A and B are shown apart, each in its own frame.
Chain A
Amino acid sequence: MSAEQPLTGRARPDRRPHTLKEWRKLGGYDAVERGLKTMTPEEVLDTVAAANLNGRGGAGFPAATKWRFMPKPGDAPGDGPSYFIVNGDEMEPGAFKDRILLEAVPHQLIEGAILAAYATYSSEIIVLIRDAYRDAIANMTRAIAEAEKAGYLGKNVLGSGFDVKMWVHPSAGRYIVGEETALIEALEGKRAVPRKRPPFPAQSGLWGRPTTVNNVETVSCVSHIVGNGAQWFRALSRTEEGGTKVFGVSGRVNKPQIIEAPMGTTAAELIERAGGVSGTGVLRCFQPGGGASGFLEPAEADIPLDFGHVAKAGSMFGTGTMIVLDESACPVGVIARHIAFYARESCGWCTPCRDGLPWVAQIMARLERGEGRMEDLQVLRDTVEIAGPRGRTFCDLMGGAMSPLGTGLARFGDLFEAHVREGCCPIARDYGRAVA
């Protein structure tokens, strides 16, 4: 297994961030100098495109393709800046990967953001960070002040003629803020209700200006791509999709942890590195990329984990932070928790989500109590079919919520039925309540 860990390799075990001086000694900001002094914005963008960097926030959309939607100066309608926004609102169940990048290596993120802003003709960078990540907010704010003082941010950065400023916007709860158009609403001082698309943010985003929103991990990759080249970045991966991935392994494993490994590493390898399956030691199933990713089973633990391969297996790579269930853990219980979460965190705008999810949550709770009815299962299947597909709601929260339910019903239908037939959770009955 390749030992290269460009994103987390410089992070200290206690997550104490580097000062700018320390970061410079580790080669920090060399890529910014290279990009701004020797490359045009188009060349930076082309390099990222050649590196095949897919968005690490969950959707896996190619970063450079998103960037190409941004208008060049003069092409943007009206006056005002274009915005580059870093999404640090990490709240997906099971996701804890952006935290380390924000807390421990903030200068890496600033470097990436400067280069990304340069490539997207943006002059203002905003990092939105969730309220619970107070260390991340403090460390990012301090690092930005240092970078500004050293001339990496501000007017005419490194004499390149490029002006850019950057600041942190701390949020105050609600999962939906992490949806990119909801995030834009939040920055405008509104309730974070997702916008209908089109127009897309690159056409009309924050304050009606061209805007790009990228995930923390995506942006953290950029300086490495510009500094070392697209070929180097692609070679880090075992598959067509470039780079390493900051994976997370949690749930029923002995040593839940963050693992940066080549894109395409398998679930089996990651689980082994996380100390193996806990509890019974026997893997029942796993969600490869957070709460909104569909269940996969032991037979699929050897597929290369990247966006393409996981999608082909009928799930979603999502955040790349997997949730592991051993034989003594009940998928129905996990789904019930996920649904309760999505029902609570819905912004309440679109009817299928606002009204559908609490309905489903009630059914799931009933099943868990052993009071479910066989016809409930058909209601669940119908909801997955009716409300799950894209396009029924403004954003993908409802679709995301339906994916563990839909794959759960498809793969563990007999277990759902057993809950009804036996009037209890058969797994809890056989193994007791799942505790480590």
Chain B
Amino acid sequence: MSLSKKLRSAITEAMEHHGGPRAAMLESLRMIQQEHGWVCDAHLEEAAALLGVTTAEMEDVATFYSLIFRQPVGEKVILLCDGASCYLNGAEDVRDAVMKRLGIGFGQTTPDGKYTLINICCVGGCDHAPAGVIGRNRKLVGPLTPDTIDQILGEDAK
């Protein structure tokens, strides 16, 4: 599997835009993920070669940032806030309800490949607590309740 022509040129462009190959590493990983949902080994190696950095350097960055996914994720990624303001408004009940409904824990993907569930630090939605962000466009949702999670899971966030 190799990178599309469009992605290759976007990565090359990012080098000039962000002030050099190193500075464009994270942006390259973000762009690959935006198109493919996650960053596989082949894409990572190809992007590293394009930028002129080593695969190890690229991997170093890719594994540090929690929202660069190095394994396949579901069609919809659900990031549930575990910050204090959400906790104080029942986030753990929402978490339990989502886990029960999907049958997965944090860091896992449903067998049908539809959902991945991840916990995330404060999403800056304390005025919508308990909150989460869903889908590739990181749409803010909340206040969530155990009774309204169907709505969240069913809503198309793409």
Nearest A-chain residue to B24, judged by Cβ: A189
Q: Check A434 against B122 for contact (C-beta < 8 Å).
A: no
A210 on the interface (CB 8 Å rule)? no
Least CB distance, A321 to chain B, in whole angstroms? 7
Nearest B-chain residue to A344, judged by Cβ: B121
Least CB distance, B140 to chain A, in whole angstroms? 8
Contact-residue bracket for chain B? 35 or more
Q: Check B85 against A93 for contact (C-beta < 8 Å).
A: yes
Contacts of A132 in B (CB 8 A): 67, 79, 120, 123-124, 133, 138, 140
Given the complex of chains A and B, what is the CA–CA distance between A190 and B57 in angstroms? 8
Contacts of B125 in A (CB 8 A): 96
Contacts of A28 in B (CB 8 A): none
Q: Check B120 against A93 for contact (C-beta < 8 Å).
A: no
Q: Check B82 against A341 for contact (C-beta < 8 Å).
A: yes
Q: Check A188 against B83 for contact (C-beta < 8 Å).
A: no
A194 on the interface (CB 8 Å rule)? no
B108 on the interface (CB 8 Å rule)? no
Nearest A-chain residue to B128, judged by Cβ: A256
Given the complex of chains A and B, what is the CA–CA distance between A98 and B128 in angstroms? 15
Nearest B-chain residue to A404, judged by Cβ: B84
Nearest B-chain residue to A336, judged by Cβ: B87
Given the complex of chains A and B, what is the CA–CA distance between A338 and B125 in angstroms? 17
Q: Check B85 against A251 for contact (C-beta < 8 Å).
A: yes
B61-79: which residues lie under 8 A (CB-CB) from chain A?
61, 64-68, 79
Q: Which of B65, B85, B128, B133 contacts A171 (CB 8 A)?
A: B65
Least CB distance, A246 to chain B, in whole angstroms? 12
Least CB distance, A131 to chain B, in whole angstroms? 5
Given the complex of chains A and B, what is the CA–CA distance between A251 and B19 in angstroms? 41
Contact-residue bracket for chain A? 35 or more
Q: Which of A98, A190, A192, A250 contacts B129 (CB 8 A)?
A: A250
Least CB distance, A346 to chain B, in whole angstroms? 12
B11 on the interface (CB 8 Å rule)? no
Q: Which of B61, B128, B133 contacts A190 (CB 8 A)?
A: B61
* Apart from A94-B126, A345-B121: 19 A-B pairs, beta carbons within 8 A: A93-B121, A132-B120, A132-B133, A170-B30, A171-B65, A172-B67, A172-B68, A174-B64, A188-B23, A189-B21, A248-B126, A250-B126, A251-B85, A252-B88, A291-B84, A334-B84, A337-B83, A337-B84, A338-B84
Nearest B-chain residue to A287, judged by Cβ: B84
Least CB distance, B152 to chain A, in whole angstroms? 16
Q: Which of B53, B124, B129 contacts A90 (CB 8 A)?
A: B124
A-binding residues in B (CB < 8 A) = 17-19, 21-27, 29-30, 53, 57, 60-61, 64-68, 79, 82-85, 87-90, 92-93, 120-129, 133, 137-138, 140, 143
Q: Counting chain A CB atoms within 10 Å of each CB, which of B65, B126, B138 scores highest?
A: B126
Q: Check B65 against A174 for contact (C-beta < 8 Å).
A: yes
Q: Which of B24, B64, B82 contacts A191 (CB 8 A)?
A: B64
Q: Check A174 against B122 for contact (C-beta < 8 Å).
A: no
Q: Check A96 against B126 for contact (C-beta < 8 Å).
A: yes
Given the complex of chains A and B, what is the CA–CA distance between A142 and B82 in angstroms? 31
Given contacts A93-B122, A250-B126, A434-B88, contact A173 B66 (CB under 8 A): yes
Given the complex of chains A and B, what is the CA–CA distance between A138 and B85 in angstroms? 27
Nearest B-chain residue to A347, judged by Cβ: B64
Question: 4 shortest A-B CB distances, which residue pairs?
Answer: A189-B22, A173-B67, A250-B126, A173-B66
As a 0/1 sequence over residues 191 to 221 of chain A, the CB contacts with chain B under 8 angstroms (1 = contact) are 1100000000000000100000000000000
Nearest B-chain residue to A186, judged by Cβ: B26
As a 0/1 sequence over residues 94 to 108 of chain A, the CB contacts with chain B under 8 angstroms (1 = contact) are 111011000000000
Contacts of B122 in A (CB 8 A): 91-96, 291, 341
